């Protein structure tokens, strides 16, 4: 399974369509506390292997970080672990803030 890229606007459209998505944020807790997308769950990247069982491999999973680099690593890990539908949020929470929701602080 190859990781698919998802833009902030494409994610916004999916959320409006009420698709059942898991928004997995892999940043650190202090980053998540400062800025996050509503409904996201936090599992920092380095904790992902130990907490993998908390996720459903059959769910559509969108992985989020600050700019899209850590989330790409996490998404590749999930895909290799057998997750069937994994997306990386291109540009991360920063792109979300700029393009979709200016109420989310930038850092």
> Which CB contacts under 8 angstroms, 24+ apart, belong to 68-77?
68/92, 68/95, 70/26, 70/27, 70/45, 71/26, 72/3, 73/45, 74/24, 74/26, 74/45, 74/48, 75/3, 76/3, 77/48, 77/49
Domain 4-100 falls under CATH 3.40.50.300: no
Domain coordinates in residue numbering, the chain = 4-100
2-30 pLDDT tens trace: 899 999 999 999 998 866 899 999 999 99
Give the mean pLDDT of 101-107.
Answer: 96
49-76 pLDDT tens trace: 999 999 999 999 999 999 999 999 999 9
The pLDDT assigned to 19 comes to 67
Kindly name the residue from 8, 21, 43, 65 that is annotated as catalytic. 65
Known catalytic residue: 100?
no
- Considering the entire predicted model, what is its pTM? 0.95
């Amino acid at each position: 399974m190859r990781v698919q890229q998802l833009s902030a606007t494409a994610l916004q459209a999916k959320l409006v369509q009420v698709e059942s998505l898991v928004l997995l944020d892999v940043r650190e807790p202090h980053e998540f506390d400062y800025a996050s997308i509503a409904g996201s769950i936090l599992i920092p990247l380095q904790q992902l292997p130990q907490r993998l069982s908390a996720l459903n491999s059959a769910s559509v999973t969108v992985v989020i970080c600050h700019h899209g680099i850590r989330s790409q690593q996490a998404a590749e890990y999930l895909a290799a672990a057998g997750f069937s539908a994994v997306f990386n949020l291109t540009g991360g929470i920063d792109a979300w803030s700029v393009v979709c929701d200016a109420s989310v602080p930038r850092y």
